[in-house]
């Protein structure tokens, strides 16, 4: 049986730093995104969600809420934790956080490879593909009930 996964806001600065380090590993190291594209200066105003297993941050997502719209982004799951439902639990927690901050809908820019993941969770595609940080993306949104 796999160790229990806790999905919640970071408990302290160490967990937040671990989440930012995970994002760096996934986006900058694995995918070749520049640090300038990954670090946009908005982390301080965001709600962060982490997935923690055995004291280690294995997933993260952040939520920014403006004018009743939640913007989910920077979702990253550690390579060894992918495919086990971590992303789905992060998404549920991020949506709950957006809803708690007054968002009536959420939007995101999904990497095209992840479009099916979000579609299966109620998101629909808005518009065509575009390139961000050298990676093909698509805008998606979902109404929160």
* pLDDT recorded at residue 138: 96
* pLDDT recorded at residue 12: 96
* Least trusted range by pLDDT, from 9-18, 97-106, 124-133: 124-133
Which pair of tokens denotes residue 111? 């990497």
* pLDDT recorded at residue 2: 62
Task: Show the beta-strand stretches assigned E in the chain.
Answer: 5-8, 47-53, 56-66, 69-77, 105-111, 124-132, 135-143
Residue 134 has pLDDT above 90, yes or no: no
* pLDDT recorded at residue 1: 60
* pLDDT recorded at residue 133: 87
Q: What is the pTM of this model?
A: 0.92
Average pLDDT, the chain: 94
DSSP letter, residue 114: G
Q: How many CB atoms lie within 10 A of CB 80?
A: 10
* pLDDT recorded at residue 36: 87
Cα 70 from chain centroid (whole Å): 12
pLDDT by residue (tens digit) across 81-111? Answer: 998 999 999 999 999 999 999 999 999 999 9
Q: How many CB atoms lie within 10 A of CB 97?
A: 23
Rg (CA), the chain: 14
Count of the separate structural domains present in the chain? 1
The order of strands in the sheet holding 5-8 is 5-8, 47-53, 56-66, 69-77, 105-111, 135-143, 124-132
Q: Which domain covers residue 116, as residue numbers?
A: 5-143
pLDDT by residue (tens digit) across 53-77? Answer: 999 999 999 999 999 999 999 999 9
Domain of 18, CATH number, reads 3.40.630.30
């Amino acid at each position: 049986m796999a160790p229990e996964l806790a999905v919640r806001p970071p408990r302290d600065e160490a967990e937040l730093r671990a989440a930012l380090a995970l994002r760096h590993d996934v986006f900058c190291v694995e995918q070749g995104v520049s640090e300038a594209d990954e670090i946009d200066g908005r982390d301080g105003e965001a709600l962060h969600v982490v997935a923690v297993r055995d004291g280690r941050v294995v997933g993260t997502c952040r939520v920014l809420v403006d004018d009743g719209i939640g913007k989910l982004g920077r979702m990253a799951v550690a390579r060894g934790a992918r495919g086990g439902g971590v992303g789905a639990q992060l998404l549920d927690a991020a949506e709950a956080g957006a809803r708690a901050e007054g968002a009536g809908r959420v939007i995101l820019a999904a990497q095209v490879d992840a479009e099916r993941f979000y579609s299966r969770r109620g998101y629909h595609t808005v518009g065509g593909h575009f390139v961000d940080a050298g990676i093909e993306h698509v805008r998606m949104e979902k109404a929160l009930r």
